[in-house]
Structure 1
Amino acid sequence: MRRRGTRFSFLAKIAVVVPLIAAADMLFQDKIGSWLGGLMLAWVLALIVVRPALRRGPALVAAGIAAALALVMADAPGLLGWAMFWVAISIAALLPYADGFDDAWRWAVRLAAHGATGPLAPIVDLLRLLRPRPHRGRITIRAVVAILALPIVMGALFVALFATANPLIARAFDAIRLPSPGEVAFWLAMLVLLWPTFRPSRWPTRIVTVLPDAEVTLPGASMPSVLIALGLFNAIFAIQNGLDIAFLWSGAPLPAGTTMADYAHQGAYPLIATAILAGVFVLATLKPGSATATNPTIRRLVTLWVGQNILLVASSILRTGDYIEAFSLTELRIAALLWMGLVALGLALILWRMLTGRSARWLINANALAATIVLSVSTVVDWGAVAATWNVRHAREVVGSGPALDLCYLDRLGSSALPALLELEQRPLMPSLRARVVRVRQEVMTGSWSIDDGGLVARQADWHSWTWRDARRLSRAEAAAGSQVKRPVSMPANLATWSCDGSITLAAPPKPAPLTKAAKP
């Protein structure tokens, strides 16, 4: 009875994977739209239907998170959302073979092994099907192949001969279109992506049983060396923090030749690297229960040093903020601020672990949870739109101070910048600037002067690239600007070049013909 159930389960998985591949082949036309989220949601539902083990416990929770991420992808497809979805659905697929969610370190190894063995899963299952087994009267695949080999081969030979003798049959064969190598490669890629979640290998869940605990060990970390190191580190960090307090936090004038922008930009990322290195040192030298971790002097010095590191990260955040005020906001700078916040939280968690005697597993899971929350929020929030809105509302051309308005960056953001561009059009601007803003907004909408996919209106007109988020943006844009949103901007006939900031260069007028002397009569 169990073998029949296994065979039925295997056939049921084939029966749902094939339609998913066919749907992906029909929907994908070199354009990504909201359809991708619908396909991902169908993937999750099919997995729950054919794998009963996913209908309870932590596996069901992971599958529910994957379904929620599929809905996020239906609203606005993105690479980060796809990566988070793959992690969630892979965890759901592996959880029935694991002892629950133990720690993020082991699950990172499981996911890496799952991704590495995924391409081999269809091959392994095919070899298992073809492997000879005692059948006891049951029909096997090898027996079916042996029975059908002769009639199929001979039948194909007769059909080929008739095709050479009968033009009608030959014409019918000519009308048959075989799949191209590209289509076959796409089908195989989808099979490699889908099949490991329906029949995951158990090797990724077994490999973690031989993994050591995620502890960092630093050679030569004796009690005297740690005491000397912490005293020296605190002194060095006090100098750096003192300079930051004097010039960055209090606003004192910098020495001649150094601007605040230089001071803010050059120090932000090296200081974050310093804080991370400090965290590694604390983890390696002050393990819970060790002699160094229980020494009162070392605990005080570590508390002081971690506090200095958190102040260092806060200074890095302030440096980045000052740089943004001078040179505008971008998606990468938002990502840098989020990363700095995670580093500061990680340092605080390291200190809390030392003071409370928590395990390395607790520390890893706490940091992984914080990173997961930030990444999950980033799949929903359009940071490009946040950056565009901030730049428009703080631009020098709008408020009289602040960074200069970078229309080229807004043009590169595409539809993310559309709400900010429409808001900018409603503000009192110089006529020349308003004309450039209108041209950039028109470029974002229709792609009139670029060679890309035609702008937001064209993408929304094609269901392959249609998304809910851009549909809402287009609807709000039409409500705000009416017919002007889609109306082409009139361009001069003698236009020579078009710039990403909306400025245009007119072609030079033709030179007049040279005057010649009149011919003598």
Structure 2
Amino acid sequence: MRFTFFCKIVVVVTLVVLFGWLFPDSFSGARIGGFAAAWLVGLVLGRGDIRRNRRSWIALAVAALFVSSLFDDPGPLAWVLFWCALSIAALLPKVTRFDDAWHWGARLVIHAVGGIGKPFADLRRFGRSKQGKRINAGAIMAMLGLPLVGGALFVALFAAANPLIAQALAAIRLPSLWQILLWALVAVCVWPSLRPHASVMRLAARLPDPEPVLPGTSLPSVLIALALFNAIFVVQNGLDIAFLWSGGALPVGMTQTEYVHRGAYPLIGTALIAGVMALAMLRPGSASARHPWARRLVTLWVVQNLVLVASSVLRTIDYIDASMLTAWRIAALAWMGLVALGLVLICWRILGGRSARWLINWNALAAAVVLTMCTFVDLGALAASRNVRRQAPAAIDLCYLGQVGDGALLPLIALEQRPMDAVTRDRVRYARDLIFTDLSARQDSWTEWTPRGARRLARATAMLGPNPARPLAVDQPTWRNCDGSIEHPAPPAQP
């Protein structure tokens, strides 16, 4: 037992030293994936119960998948998903079975919060003697006083007598307080994966099953509510079919853009609330769940909510066509797809008598698949490519493409090769040159290098050729805006 404890200490110290070497200045580049891989290997080496647990190896394989994403193009989402998979692998040997995503979500939250104090609790336990008595701090100082003071004295004497030793000592640079605090934070984050807190399983086991409860859900109340809700939703969906899907003329004073943009996200919120209410009104075993008319009305209500979600998707697409596509709007469309799938699963659960665990696990699996895809797909690059293909050169928002970063480089090069006026071409060329220069500088540094960046830079260099055109030079006091337009200072005021 004591040997395994020291092995875990060695793993943590090794990871802290590796972190200090990999990240002397910033937390970026493919080295993030390298550190994640080292953490994964350290967890396997330091935990024998994980090596013997077959389910943990599945979680480790998923974590390794996110390691590859962190190495290719690191991002916050990939790191969070990697930590979740790693933590699940660390906690799986402590449970008898994988119950549901609800309890596992609670375990991860408790593991993240409670793990902060775990290293300090283990230090207190380690500080106890075999007889259970705490080692006195004064006794420790008395034990270490002679070797430390004597060693320092002899080193100082040898440094005075030997210039080589003096130079070696002078070359030593002690870490700053910030570095020490950062290394301590890394140790605090890594240690709980090697020694999870016992309260994680105990507290999560006390959580009730996630069955939503609403007051007043008697059979007559549910039937009246479902009939009323269906009637209200018929009005909203009828208006959307008349004005959004069919393109009918709107009342005077309201534009199509206002009608489209105003309701996309509130309608998704409405669908989510309706889904929770449907679950609460037709709980398994209740009289409402067995009543045929209640089941028909709730099925109709879910179908109307699906029409509501489809209208939200259409509103978002219409607004994108009127303005532009962004990474967040792609994420919003994916979220709407998950909401639609969740509504279908709710209906399936009610009609098929499935459990709440079944519903949560399938929704969690769908969300995990979508999030995993987002870690490997550059949504900003997709948005930039679509905007360049669909919009006229003069109408493209170059400020947004600049915010996208190197994901917009290849679309900008393709845009530069399209016919346009000289002023617009110079603006596009300026935006492209900024991103190309920044990407080249980052790829020249091993701390910022990534495989995806290297692939983009190689392709961009091939597309631009040996002598790429440069934007017009701008001298002070003239400057360029984020869209590449040239701004001149205001003329001095006349007396």
- 1:149 to partner: Cα distance: 2.8
Query: How far apart are the structure 2 equivalents of 1:366 and 1:32?
Result: 34
Q: Is the 8 A contact 2:477 2:489 kept in 1?
A: yes
Matched, 1:395 2:391: yes
Residue 36 in 1 paired to residue 9 in 2?
no
Residues 158 and 22 (structure 1 numbering): CA distance in 2 closer, same or farther, change over 3 Å?
closer
- The 5 Å alignment of 1:55-66 reads 55=51, 56-66=53-63
Structure 1 position 484, deviation (Å): 3.7
Decide which of 201, 206, 219 is 2:202's aligned counterpart: 206
**C-alpha contact (below 8 Å) 1:72/1:380 kept by paired residues:** yes
Which residue is equivalent to 1:499?
A: 481
Work out whether residues 430 and 470 of structure 2, in 8 Å CA contact, stay in contact via their aligned partners in 1: no
Which position in structure 1 is the counterpart of 2:128? 131
Q: Which of 371, 379, 382 is the aligned partner of 1:383?
A: 379
Q: 1:304 aligns with which of 300, 305, 309?
A: 300
Of the candidates 73, 79, 82, which is equivalent to residue 76 of structure 1? 73
The reply to whether residue 368 of structure 1 matches residue 349 of structure 2 is no
Q: Is it true that 1:466 corresponds to 2:463 in the alignment? A: no
Residue 450 of structure 1 aligns with which residue? none
Q: Is the 8 A contact 1:58 1:100 kept in 2?
A: no
Q: Which residue of 2 aligns with 1:187?
A: 183
> Is the Cα contact below 8 Å between 1:216 and 1:280 reproduced in 2?
yes
- Give the match for residue 258 of structure 2: 262
Shift of 1:301: 0.6
State the one-letter code of the partner of 1:281: M
Structure 1 position 155, deviation (Å): 1.9
Task: Find the residue that maps to 1:483 and give its secondary structure.
Answer: coil
* 2:318 corresponds to 1:336: no
Q: Deviations over 1:282-318 (max 9, x none)?
A: 1111111211111111111101111000100000000
CA distance change for structure 1 residues 150 and 463 in 2, over 3 Å: closer, same or farther? Answer: closer
Instruction: Write the distance in 2 (CA, Å) between the matches of 1:470 and 1:176.
Output: 36
Deviations 1:83-111 (A, max 9, x none): 00010000000000012321000001100
Deviations 1:367-414 (A, max 9, x none): 10010011000000000000001100110348xxxxx31111111111
Specify which of 113, 133, 144 is matched with residue 149 of structure 1.
Answer: 144
2:460 is aligned, of 470, 473, 477, to 477
Using the TM superposition, give the Cα deviation of residue 333 of structure 1 relative to its aligned residue in structure 2, in angstroms.
Answer: 0.8
Deviation of the 1:147 alpha carbon:
7.8
1:463-492 CA-partner distances (Å, limit 9, x unpaired): 11111111100000011112345x754404
Structure 2 residue identity aligned to 1:443: L
CA distance in 2, matches of 1:121, 1:510: 66
- Residue 9 of structure 2 is aligned to residue 26 of structure 1: no
Match of 2:407? 416
Instruction: Provide Cα deviations, 1:417-475, integer angstroms capped at 9, x if missing partner.
Output: 011101111212222211111111001112xxxxxxxx111111111111111110000
Distance (Å, rounded) in 2 between the aligned partners of 1:492 and 1:341: 47
Once the 2 structures are TM-superposed, how far is the Cα of residue 159 of structure 1 from its aligned partner? 5.7
Pairwise CA distance, 1:177 = 3.1
Matched residues in 1 for 2:203 and 2:340: separation?
33
Q: Answer yes or no: is 1:92 the counterpart of 2:75.
A: no
Distance 1:377 1:208 in 2: 29
Tell me how far 1:119 sits from its aligned partner.
1.4
Asked if the contact 2:32–2:71 (Cα under 8 Å) also holds between the matched residues in 1, the reply is yes
| Cα distance change of structure 1 residues 313 and 509 upon mapping to structure 2, 3 Å threshold | closer
User: Secondary structure of the residue that 2:263 maps to in structure 1?
Assistant: helix
Contact 2:426 2:471 survives alignment (8 Å): no
Give a deviation string over 1:229-279, Cα, whole Å, max 9, x none: 111100000000000000111111212211111111100011111101101
The match for 1:48 among 41, 44, 48 is 44
Residues 24-71 of structure 1, C-alpha deviations (whole Å, 9 max, x = no match): 111112250001101101111121122122233110100111111011
Q: Whole-Å Cα distance in 1 between the matches of residues 447 and 145 of structure 2?
A: 45
Could you tell me how far apart the structure 2 residues matched to 1:214 and 1:340 are? 22
Amino acid at match of 1:500: C
SS in 1 for 2:466: helix
Q: Do the aligned partners of 1:34 and 1:74 also contact (CA within 8 Å) in 2?
A: yes
Q: Distance in 2 between matches of 1:171 and 1:420?
A: 55
Deviation larger for 500-509 or 388-397: 500-509
Distance 2:184 2:218 in 1: 56
**Conserved 8 A contact 1:63-1:92:** yes
Partner of 1:407: 398
Among 100, 119, 122, the residue aligned to 1:122: 119
Give yes or no for the alignment of 1:275 onto 2:271: yes
Contact 2:429/2:470 (8 A) holds in 1: no
Question: Given the two structures, how large is their TM-score scaled by the length of structure 2?
Answer: 0.93
Match of 1:517 in 2: none
Contact 1:53-1:59 within 8 A present in 2 as well: no
Give yes or no for the alignment of 1:11 onto 2:6. yes
Q: Is the 8 A contact 1:268 1:319 kept in 2?
A: yes
**TM-score w.r.t. structure 1 length?**
0.88
Residue 509 of structure 1, CA deviation: 9.7
**What is the identity, as a one-letter code, of the residue corresponding to 1:445?**
F
Contact 1:495 1:504 in 2 (8 A): no
1-side partners of 2:195 and 2:300: how far apart?
Answer: 51
Q: 1:265 to 1:174 in 2, by over 3 A?
A: same
Q: Does the 8 A contact of 1:130 with 1:142 survive in 2?
A: no
SS of residue paired to 1:119 = coil
Uncovered stretches (5+) of structure 1, i.e. residues with no partner: 1-5, 399-403, 447-454, 512-521
Q: Is the 8 A contact 1:132 1:142 kept in 2?
A: no
Q: Which amino acid aligns with 2:321?
A: E
1:158 deviates by 4.7
For residue 224 of structure 1, what is the aligned residue in structure 2? Answer: 220
Distance across 2 between alignment mates of 1:11 and 1:492 = 62
Moved more, 199-208 or 412-421: 199-208
Partner of 1:425: 416
**SS at structure 2 position matched to 1:258:** coil
- Give the deviation of 1:211 after TM superposition: 1.6
